[in-house]
Amino acid sequence: MNVIEKYDKIIKSLFILCIFIGCTFFLKRYFTPAFAIILLIFVCNPIYNVLHRKFQFNDKIASIISILFINFTVIFIIYNLGNCIICNYGDKINNIKDSFMDIVGRLNEIFKAFNIPNQDFSISSLINSNLIKEGARYTSDGLIIYFMSNIIVYFILVDKENIRKFLNNLFYKENMDILINKYMDLKNIFVIEAKLVVLFTIETIIGFLILGVDNAILLGLICGILDLLPYIGTIIVFIPLILSELLHSNYIVVIGLTALYFMLIITRQIMEAKFIGDKLELHPLALIISLYIGIKIFGILGVFIGPMYVITVKEFIT
């Protein structure tokens, strides 16, 4: 037995890993709408199927209605959450900002007392930086990408039968079966993640209610949406809450919020590994490692890319 035969499975696994990394980086760098397109197809396709098959809507009309319904739903949620945050938390945000400015002023005094150069902490220095310019650029790019994604999803929904026939003619049946299986695996991961977000939201609301946090339901819903962003998502809500309670000397609530945050993060990771592992017949340890590495390399895409890689390697090995 030569070296290649001896390490055949390892070589195949590394080859598949290179393909996954290369394709993912290509999509992130040169075709950013890919993730938005996949997400929109997942949420629009069930509505399209109901309108087209059950109610006999024209395929173009069904596509337009399903896409508009999802877009109006997203706009409605964002608009109402924004209004609620401004109305209910304007005073708290101002208090935190004032406290932050007080801390910044004290830090500047300390730096001046010890003659530490180049430590001018101020809001104006942040405004004069490229932060706003970069934020505006990313926002405009995001809107363009989202608009393009909607157009592409429309044509995919309208012509999906023709696209399926074209792919059947382009690839061998065995390759098409593999692509269909990968699509179903990705769909299962997406459905599980959606269920976990709902469960995470309910747990967060219950925790806030127990701790007596104001507007617990609203904040829980915001945390549920931000849970889609790995690691940095819910901390955007928890840090201002903890700082606000700390300023009011509610130390029991501060400890409770801190414990709740870590409990939610740990339980979510355990449930994610358990549910996806059971559904896709993967060992939880392999899944946790793939999720961690995937998120570290690809961000939110890693939630899907990591498990997909493990599934593909498992199929090739077994």
Confidence (pTM): 0.69
User: 174-188 burial, b if ≥16 CB within 10 A, otherwise e?
Assistant: eeeeeeeeeeebbeb
DSSP 119-187: ----HHHHHTTTHHHHHHHHHHHHHHHHHHHHHHHHHHHHTHHHHHHHHHHHS-HHHHHHHHHHHHHHH
DSSP state of 274: H
Longest dimension (CA), the chain: 76
What is the distance between the alpha carbons of residues 144 and 109, in angstroms, rounded to a whole number? 45
For residue 253, is it within any domain?
A: no
Domain that holds residue 137: 32-170
Is the residue at 83 inside a domain?
A: yes
Q: Is 75 left (phi over 0), alpha (psi -120 to 50) or beta?
A: alpha
Mean pLDDT estimate for the chain: 78
38 falls within a domain: yes
Is 35:299 a contact under the CB 8 Å cutoff?
no
Cα 41 to Cα 47: distance, rounded to the nearest angstrom: 10
The helix/strand/coil state of 299 is helix
Q: What is the mean pLDDT of each run of 10 residues along the chain (318 residues)?
A: 68 84 78 78 90 88 93 86 70 61 62 56 49 59 82 89 77 70 80 88 92 84 79 77 82 91 88 82 81 82 84 79
Give per-residue pLDDT as tens, 193-224: 888 889 999 999 999 999 988 878 888 888 88
Cβ(241)–Cβ(260) under 8 Å? no
Give whole-number Cα distances, 190 to 114, 154, 193, in Å: 54, 21, 5
Residue 91 belongs to some domain of the structure = yes
Q: What is the pLDDT of residue 304?
A: 81
Indicate whether 58 belongs to any domain.
yes
Q: Does residue 113 belong to any structural domain of this protein?
A: yes
Is 223 within 8 Å of 196 (Cβ atoms)?
no
Tokens of 298: 């690809």
* Buried-exposed string 117-127: b where 16+ CB fall within 10 A, e elsewhere: eeeeeeeeeee
pLDDT at 127: 47
148-187 tens-digit pLDDT = 889 999 999 888 888 877 777 776 666 667 777 777 887 7
Residue 301 resides in a domain: no
pLDDT score, position 123? 47
Residue found by looking up tokens 């949420």 in the block: 43
Domain tally for the chain?
A: 1
DSSP letter at 53 equals I
The verdict on residue 203 lying in a domain is: no
Position 88 scores a pLDDT of: 66
